Amino acid sequence: MINFILCIHIHQPVGNFDFVVEDAYKNAYLPFLQALSKYPRIKLSLHTSGYLLEWLNENHKEYLDLLWQMIEKGQVEMMGAGYYEPVLAVIPKRDRIGQIKLMSDKLDEYFGVRPKGIWLTERVWEPHLPESLNAAGVEYVVVDDYHFVKAGFKKEDLSGYYITEEQGHVLKVFPGSERLRYVIPFEPIEKFIEHLKNIESSLQRSSVRLPLAVFADDGEKFGVWPGTHKWVYKEGWLERFLETLNHNLEWIKPVTFSEYLKDNEPSGRVYLPTTSYMEMGEWALPAEASLEYTNLIQDVKKWHDSERIKRFLQGGMWRNFMAKYSEANWMHKRMLLVSKEAEKSENPAAINCLYKSQANDAYWHGVFGGLYLPHLRSSVYENLIKAENLIEDVKNQPPIAISEQDFDADTHNEILIKTPKFNVFLRPHSGGGIQELDFKPIAYNLTNCLARRYEGYHHRVKTQGNGGAGEGTKSIHDTVVSKEQGLEKSLVYDNYERLSLIDRFIKPGAPLSPLSVDDLQTGRFEEGGDFVGALYKHEFRNQNSELVLTRNGIVFGKPVRIEKKIYFTDDSLLRIDYQLANLDASPLHTLFCSEWNILLGFGLKARDMGSMEEFELEEDWLGLKFRMKLNPCANLYTYPIDTVSFSESGFERNFQGLCILPCWEINLAPGNACKIELSIDAASLV
């Protein structure tokens, strides 16, 4: 006899498109539960993330009604987690406990049950977790057997559950089978039976009383992943799987985690290292290292003793994403800032917005992570800004509030200016650029752009053809297609962060070869200044209503001084005055450009818009009008910032923002200066 735990995790990111969630419901969530309900002796341990649970309650109560019936009959055990699916290890302890308790309260409200165990988001484990999980009332957690292998175990020796602790706070840990994650539902049922027989045979020869096999993975692989709906339902894989289990109950005993805990003692003690599942270690590494690690794993798989070697190989840790992507680090540190403010305010609505901002999906990138999806990043910022707005509403906030501190933990202070309409985060040490510009009335970060980076999988883009989803019997880790032709043309990389208020000096084009928007978009231009990413001095003037950023630098070998004054008012206007001074003994002839990168203008093409004194965008879907005024007139260029990334459906191009580049031709005699005025105006359309 062998125990078998079927554990399914279903989740949708906060801020995901409603039609995406609806498709997942119709193609996976509902048909899976309906199929399982016909086999009452087959048990399920189910985790449904809080955001998805709310969506189901609002849109498909029939699903919750069926689930409630299965819970009442003892067929389903509900599992908890952080409510909005945060990576628990990287949010503050108070939020970690708060999110878990919120999930438990919601399950109690909906189904009259309080969970004993939790689904660990992306199976990101760090050794300090047992203390806070214990404080939140968690008895057990499930991770991968990979975690145990990194602690020195062999997969074939694993069964049951193990005890771990932190400072005496005990937690029970189950190892889920990595092999079963690839068998179910991608291989014939015979492979599943063969795997269980092997476990039963090997472990019954040991001291284990009742061997245990645990399958714990995403429910989306049963209908959402490419090709799986056809394979799992139309071609009958799930029905064959459930029928096979039902006909083998004399030696396969389906149980829930809690049922197994009730009847079995722990198999031993373990102290797991910091890790996640195997694929996450690959994704978390820097691009070149990720590619080399992937190639190494593929090489090792061909060796006759591959498993002996693989068990001692490990990629990066989840926190590496905050080193790999500066945008992820900034979001994370902004979240920590709001968490401190929310704790002081004790405002329940603000705390709930904070919890939503901690949803893991937008903070990382792999096959699943959504850092490359602008709507998920926007959701994070929307909830952070809403939380701050709620906190400020009950505080005696001055018209203009200024603070300086190291917000992003890089050892350099940033500047935060809060006005009634804007939050402006500036980085004097990085070109005096704007890191974040929030339009508070609609809780929108205008400068939420992602730089174009090399990824370790980009070499594969050039070798993949355009195609569909691939065969249903393949895992998404094995099936790769391009969702459109010509993606390799979008493989352009930035050597700087996509901030705004970036000061550029570009060599003017000859009359027969003027500067082109294509040159700007692809980076094929000569940068003559050393101001991008450089350190600016700063000071506040006129009772803190002006911020002055200055730097003496070099432009095509000539000394040049930039002074940019930023004026803050209590309306929706942000004004910047530039003064450029030629400090050389010879004339200076150059193009000066102020680069702005904003998450607006989806669908706009690259354009040389000619001489303009005003540029305006209306975003009806946001309810926002964005206006830039230029004095004197500038030659204005705009182009989309497109990236190529990998997702569960293949390689895809994603719009990351619009680059707006006003350029002024500068002719300065020795010792002379010129003045440029630029203003940003944002207004709500409703």
β-strand partners of 660: 596, 638
Catalytic pick from 77, 85, 122, 200? 122
Alpha-carbon distance values, 637 to 214, 449, 562 (Å): 56, 17, 22
CA distance 475 to 277: 15
Token duo for residue 263: 């009847």
Which 3 state secondary structure label does DSSP give 250? coil
Do residues 586 and 578 lie in contact, with contact meaning Cβ atoms separated by under 8 Å?
no
Do residues 590 and 528 lie in contact, with contact meaning Cβ atoms separated by under 8 Å?
yes
Amino acid identity of 201?
Answer: S
Which residues, 6 or more positions from 581, have their beta carbon under 8 angstroms from its beta carbon? 560, 561, 563, 668, 671, 672, 673
Give me the helices (H) in 88-236, please: 93-111, 129-135, 145-149, 178-183, 189-204, 228-229
DSSP H or E segment with residue 329: helix 326-345
Do residues 464 and 480 lie in contact, with contact meaning Cβ atoms separated by under 8 Å?
yes
CA distance 181 to 178: 5
Which residues, 6 or more positions from 343, have their beta carbon under 8 angstroms from its beta carbon? 92, 94
Q: Classify burial at 650, counting beta carbons within 10 Å of its beta carbon; exposed 0-12, middle 13-18, buried 19 or more.
A: buried
CA distance 472 to 272: 34
Catalytic pick from 218, 343, 494, 619? 218
Which 3 state secondary structure label does DSSP give 352? helix
CA distance 153 to 350: 44
| Angle, vertex CA 515, rays to CA 679 and CA 494, nearest 5 | 75
| Angle, vertex CA 276, rays to CA 325 and CA 652, nearest 5 | 45
Which 3 state secondary structure label does DSSP give 229? helix
Question: What sign does the dihedral 323-325-331-332 (CA atoms) show?
Answer: negative
Cβ atoms < 10 Å from Cβ of 453: 18
Amino acid identity of 401?
Answer: A
HSE, side-chain direction, 13 A CA sphere, residue 213: 28
CA distance 337 to 418: 14
Q: How many residues does the chain have?
A: 686
Residue with tokens 């099936």: 479
β-strand partners of 598: 658
Residues 343, 361, 170, 204: what is their CA dihedral angle, to the nearest 10 degrees?
A: 170
* Residue 187 annotated as catalytic: no
Give the 3-state secondary structure of 356-411.
HHCCHHHHCCCCCCCCCCHHHHHHHHHHHHHHHHHHHHCCCCCCCEEEEECCCCCC
Which residues, 6 or more positions from 236, have their beta carbon under 8 angstroms from its beta carbon? none
Q: How far is CA 218 from the centre of its chain?
A: 17
* Residue 122 annotated as catalytic: yes
DSSP 9: E
* Catalytic machinery residues: 122, 218
